[in-house]
Protein backbone atom coordinates (compact mmCIF):
# COMPACT_ATOMS: atom_id res chain seq x y z
CA UNK A 1 0.00 0.00 0.00
CA UNK A 2 1.08 3.55 -0.69
CA UNK A 3 0.67 6.22 1.97
CA UNK A 4 1.87 9.77 1.38
CA UNK A 5 1.23 13.25 2.68
CA UNK A 6 1.49 16.64 1.03
CA UNK A 7 4.40 17.31 3.39
CA UNK A 8 6.26 14.34 1.87
CA UNK A 9 5.89 15.93 -1.58
CA UNK A 10 6.51 19.62 -0.92
CA UNK A 11 9.98 20.56 -2.14
CA UNK A 12 10.53 17.31 -4.08
CA UNK A 13 10.33 16.65 -7.81
CA UNK A 14 6.65 15.70 -7.34
CA UNK A 15 5.95 19.38 -6.69
CA UNK A 16 5.68 21.22 -10.00
CA UNK A 17 5.22 24.98 -10.41
CA UNK A 18 3.75 26.64 -13.48
CA UNK A 19 6.42 28.66 -15.28
CA UNK A 20 4.45 31.85 -14.57
CA UNK A 21 3.83 30.73 -10.94
CA UNK A 22 0.04 30.82 -11.45
CA UNK A 23 -0.28 27.38 -9.83
CA UNK A 24 1.58 24.68 -8.02
CA UNK A 25 0.76 21.00 -8.43
CA UNK A 26 1.66 18.37 -5.84
CA UNK A 27 1.50 15.03 -7.54
CA UNK A 28 0.55 12.49 -4.94
CA UNK A 29 0.11 9.64 -7.42
CA UNK A 30 1.87 9.41 -10.78
CA UNK A 31 1.94 6.92 -13.62
CA UNK A 32 4.83 5.07 -11.99
CA UNK A 33 2.63 4.38 -8.95
CA UNK A 34 0.65 2.01 -11.17
CA UNK A 35 -2.91 3.11 -10.40
CA UNK A 36 -3.94 3.89 -13.99
CA UNK A 37 -4.59 7.54 -13.10
CA UNK A 38 -2.64 10.33 -11.47
CA UNK A 39 -3.91 12.32 -8.49
CA UNK A 40 -2.75 15.83 -7.71
CA UNK A 41 -3.46 18.61 -5.27
CA UNK A 42 -3.23 21.87 -7.19
CA UNK A 43 -3.27 25.37 -5.75
CA UNK A 44 -4.43 28.02 -8.22
CA UNK A 45 -3.39 31.41 -6.94
CA UNK A 46 -5.88 34.27 -6.57
CA UNK A 47 -5.93 36.81 -9.39
CA UNK A 48 -4.57 34.40 -12.01
CA UNK A 49 -6.00 33.07 -15.26
CA UNK A 50 -4.70 29.87 -16.88
CA UNK A 51 -5.54 28.69 -20.39
CA UNK A 52 -5.78 24.89 -20.39
CA UNK A 53 -6.64 22.42 -23.13
CA UNK A 54 -5.80 18.83 -22.29
CA UNK A 55 -5.98 17.27 -25.75
CA UNK A 56 -4.26 14.11 -24.59
CA UNK A 57 -5.80 13.64 -21.15
CA UNK A 58 -9.13 13.58 -19.35
CA UNK A 59 -9.17 15.47 -16.07
CA UNK A 60 -11.65 15.73 -13.20
CA UNK A 61 -11.20 18.59 -10.73
CA UNK A 62 -12.82 18.82 -7.29
CA UNK A 63 -12.59 22.08 -5.35
CA UNK A 64 -12.01 21.78 -1.61
CA UNK A 65 -11.10 25.40 -0.81
CA UNK A 66 -11.23 28.87 -2.33
CA UNK A 67 -13.27 30.32 -5.16
CA UNK A 68 -13.05 30.89 -8.87
CA UNK A 69 -14.57 30.14 -12.24
CA UNK A 70 -14.00 28.10 -15.34
CA UNK A 71 -14.94 29.41 -18.78
CA UNK A 72 -15.41 27.19 -21.83
CA UNK A 73 -14.91 29.37 -24.94
CA UNK A 74 -16.61 26.79 -27.19
CA UNK A 75 -20.03 27.55 -25.67
CA UNK A 76 -19.24 30.82 -23.87
CA UNK A 77 -20.30 29.39 -20.48
CA UNK A 78 -18.77 30.45 -17.18
CA UNK A 79 -19.11 28.07 -14.24
CA UNK A 80 -18.63 29.29 -10.68
CA UNK A 81 -16.35 27.07 -8.60
CA UNK A 82 -16.70 26.82 -4.82
CA UNK A 83 -15.80 24.06 -2.36
CA UNK A 84 -17.82 20.96 -3.20
CA UNK A 85 -17.82 21.61 -6.97
CA UNK A 86 -16.42 19.07 -9.42
CA UNK A 87 -15.85 19.67 -13.10
CA UNK A 88 -14.83 16.97 -15.55
CA UNK A 89 -13.22 17.73 -18.89
CA UNK A 90 -14.95 14.77 -20.51
CA UNK A 91 -14.67 16.26 -24.00
CA UNK A 92 -11.07 17.45 -23.69
CA UNK A 93 -12.67 20.89 -23.33
CA UNK A 94 -10.60 24.00 -23.82
CA UNK A 95 -11.04 26.22 -20.77
CA UNK A 96 -9.88 29.28 -18.89
CA UNK A 97 -9.45 28.79 -15.17
CA UNK A 98 -9.58 31.86 -12.95
CA UNK A 99 -9.23 32.12 -9.18
CA UNK A 100 -10.69 34.98 -7.15
CA UNK A 101 -9.43 33.36 -3.91
CA UNK A 102 -6.59 30.81 -3.77
CA UNK A 103 -8.24 27.56 -4.82
CA UNK A 104 -7.23 24.14 -3.57
CA UNK A 105 -8.22 21.56 -6.16
CA UNK A 106 -7.94 17.78 -6.23
CA UNK A 107 -7.25 16.65 -9.78
CA UNK A 108 -7.36 13.20 -11.38
CA UNK A 109 -5.80 12.57 -14.79
CA UNK A 110 -6.46 9.69 -17.16
CA UNK A 111 -4.05 8.64 -18.60
CA UNK A 112 -1.85 9.40 -15.62
CA UNK A 113 0.80 12.09 -15.98
CA UNK A 114 4.34 10.92 -15.51
CA UNK A 115 5.59 13.75 -13.32
CA UNK A 116 7.37 16.63 -14.94
CA UNK A 117 4.61 18.03 -17.16
CA UNK A 118 4.09 21.75 -17.45
CA UNK A 119 1.60 23.16 -19.93
CA UNK A 120 2.66 23.49 -23.54
CA UNK A 121 1.85 26.74 -25.33
CA UNK A 122 -1.51 25.36 -26.48
CA UNK A 123 -2.52 24.58 -22.88
CA UNK A 124 -2.04 20.81 -23.20
CA UNK A 125 0.28 18.27 -21.69
CA UNK A 126 2.03 16.11 -24.27
CA UNK A 127 0.83 12.55 -24.80
CA UNK A 128 2.64 10.03 -22.61
CA UNK A 129 4.86 8.80 -25.45
CA UNK A 130 6.13 12.36 -26.22
CA UNK A 131 6.75 13.65 -22.75
CA UNK A 132 9.85 15.75 -22.45
CA UNK A 133 9.82 16.57 -26.19
CA UNK A 134 8.60 19.83 -27.68
CA UNK A 135 6.12 19.18 -30.52
CA UNK A 136 7.15 20.42 -33.98
User: Which residues in 104-115 are b (16+ Cβ under 10 Å) and which e?
Assistant: ebebbbeebbbe
Residue with the shortest CB distance to ligand 9YT: 25
Residue 59 or 93: the one with the smaller Cβ distance to ligand 9YT is 59
96 binds ligand 9YT per the rule CB under 6 A? no
7: enclosing H helix or E strand: helix 6-9
Specify whether the CB–CB gap between 53 and 73 falls below 8 A.
no
Site for ligand 9YT in 34-53 (CB under 6 A): 40, 42, 52
CB of 12 to ligand 9YT, least distance (A): 15
Cβ-based nearer residue to ligand 9YT, 1 or 19: 19
β-strand partners of 62: 86, 106
Question: Which residues are within 8 A (CB) of 110 and not within 5 positions of it... i.e. 6 or more apart?
Answer: 36, 37, 57, 58, 59
Is there binding between residue 107 and ligand 9YT (CB under 6 A)? yes
Reduced to 3 states (helix: H, G, I; strand: E, B; else coil), residue 43 is: strand
Contact pick of 93, 105, 112, 126 for ligand 9YT (by CB under 6 A): 105
- Our finding on whether 25 is near ligand 9YT (CB under 6 A) is yes
Radius of gyration of the chain (CA): 14
The yes or no reply on residue 58 touching ligand 9YT (CB under 6 A) is no
The binder of ligand 9YT chosen from 28, 30, 43, 61 (CB under 6 A): 61
> Dihedral through CA 28, CA 112, CA 85, CA 16, nearest 10?
50
Task: Kindly list the residues in this chain that would bind ligand 9YT in the complex (CB under 6 A).
Answer: 23, 25, 40, 42, 52, 59, 61, 97, 105, 107
Amino acid sequence: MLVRTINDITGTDREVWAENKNWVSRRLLLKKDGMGFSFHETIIFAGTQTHIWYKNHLEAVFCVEGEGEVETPADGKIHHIVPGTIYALNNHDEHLLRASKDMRLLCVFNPPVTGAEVHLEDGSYPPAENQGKVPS
